[in-house]
Amino acid sequence: MTSQPAMASERTGETSGPPETHVRHAFWKYPLIAAAILVVIVVVALVAGSPNWPRDSIATVAKQDPGGSVLAFTQELDGTSSSWGNTGEVNSRPDQLFVLGPLTAYEPLLGAPVSAAVAMYEQASDAQRQAWASAYDDALGTITPEGSGGGMEGAASPDYSKVGTLTGDFGPVPALTAASLQLAQGGYLQMYLTALRPGHSLHLTTIWLYDEPAMLNTAVDQGLTDDQWGMMKERGFAVGPWYLALPAVIHVLLPGGATGIGFTLWNLGFALLFLFAVPLVPGLRGLPKRLRLYRLVYRYPLRDERVTPYPGAGEEAR
């Protein structure tokens, strides 16, 4: 027995198959579109992409700027380094992560004087530790050249040749920072940090590099910090992780995007927009057709170009 919808379809000549309107594909446009996209990518990479600069290692930076490295270790001890703002992210205190932990792990390599300095520091009260580290930090400031901060406000590296001339009640802090510098220059600090987080081998290394004044200045100048475009820029990778462009815009430009909750809510909002609003809202879903974007790949034929469907096309569709 023939169903009512089928009978109606036979009377009107309509079919449930694809439309019989022929289109002409503009295959010759495909390579032109690909070339245009390539040009756009190259321009964006040159203007807003990552700097063409190889990655730095802790050993390289510590050798090039030993004074800045000593300052970084000192500020990790007195709580004024930038890494103290990431304690929740790394789940560890920078003084333990970057100074005391590595020194303890490499005690056999460093010798008895360093072991004694670590023991003296750990046995002191928190107030005494803070007083020693703060005094040494202030003393390093007296041998820091003026106006060498680069792109970072007030960040500059002390003159390492004058570090040995500093005097004051520093406790074991000079010994600790000198031993930490030795580990950094020998590559042992980066090995230690990589072993702590094997799945994120560059994470802790990058955090320490941002404690180093010269490296932080470079990062600020090249737009690599977290409040700039660091999410989608990688040194040595010119285009950068382009797929993070939208999250980077949310993180840097939108209100509350730099906070964890705000970043999550903004991303969820955009996800809902693309998943539901764009395909379901009539005005939005018809926008590509109104803009005639289909003309990039095909066009409807002119009257003299139309082809009559072959006999039986409707029968096969049914």
Q: What does the pLDDT look like over 53-84, one tens digit per residue?
A: 777 889 999 999 999 999 999 999 999 998 89
Question: Residue 173 and residue 126: Cα distance in Å, rounded?
Answer: 13
Q: What does the pLDDT look like over 235-268, one tens digit per residue?
A: 666 666 777 888 888 888 889 887 778 888 999 9
CA 114 to the chain's CA centroid: 36
Q: Which of 4-13, 185-194, 222-231, 266-275 has the lowest mean pLDDT?
A: 4-13
DSSP assignments along 207-230, one per residue: HHHHHSHHHHHHHHHTT-STTTTG
Structure token pair of residue 181: 């510098």
What 8-state DSSP symbol labels residue 237?
B
Neighbours of 207 (CB within 10 A): 20
Question: Residue 233 and residue 48: Cα distance in Å, rounded?
Answer: 9
Average pLDDT of span 129-157: 78
Please tell me the total number of residues recorded for the chain in this structure. 318
Between 254 and 44, the higher pLDDT residue: 254
Question: Is pLDDT of 1 > 50?
Answer: no
Between 311 and 260, the higher pLDDT residue: 260
The residue assigned the tokens 């941002």 is 210
Question: Is pLDDT of 15 > 50?
Answer: no
**What is the number of H-type helices and E-type strands within the chain?**
20, 2
What is the pLDDT, as a whole number, of residue 238?
64
Neighbours of 217 (CB within 10 A): 20
What is the pLDDT, as a whole number, of residue 16?
42
What is the pLDDT, as a whole number, of residue 75?
95
Average pLDDT of span 47-51: 72
Structure token pair of residue 14: 């309509």
Residue 253 sits at the vertex; the CA angle it makes with 248 and 255, to the nearest 5 degrees, is 115
Rg of the chain, C-alpha, whole Å: 31
In the chain, the percentage of residues whose pLDDT exceeds 90 is: 36
In the chain, the percentage of residues whose pLDDT exceeds 70 is: 81
CA distances from 190 to 184, 266, 297 (A): 7, 35, 52
Between 45 and 130, the higher pLDDT residue: 130
The residue assigned the tokens 């300052």 is 71
Q: Which amino acid is at 167?
A: T
Q: pLDDT tier at 309 (50, 70, 90 boundaries)?
A: low
Between 16 and 188, the higher pLDDT residue: 188
Question: Is pLDDT of 42 > 60?
Answer: yes
Question: Is pLDDT of 125 > 80?
Answer: yes
Question: Is pLDDT of 269 > 60?
Answer: yes
Structure token pair of residue 196: 């702590």
What is the pLDDT, as a whole number, of residue 99?
96
Q: Note the helical H segments in 49-198.
A: 58-64, 66-78, 87-90, 94, 101-105, 107-110, 112-123, 126-141, 173-185, 188-196
Average pLDDT of span 99-125: 94
Q: Per-domain residue ranges for the chain?
A: 23-51+240-308, 58-221
The residue assigned the tokens 């220059």 is 185
What is the pLDDT, as a whole number, of residue 256?
87
DSSP assignments along 10-56, one per residue: HHHT--SS------EE-TTHHHHHHHHHHHHHHHHHHHHS--S-PPP
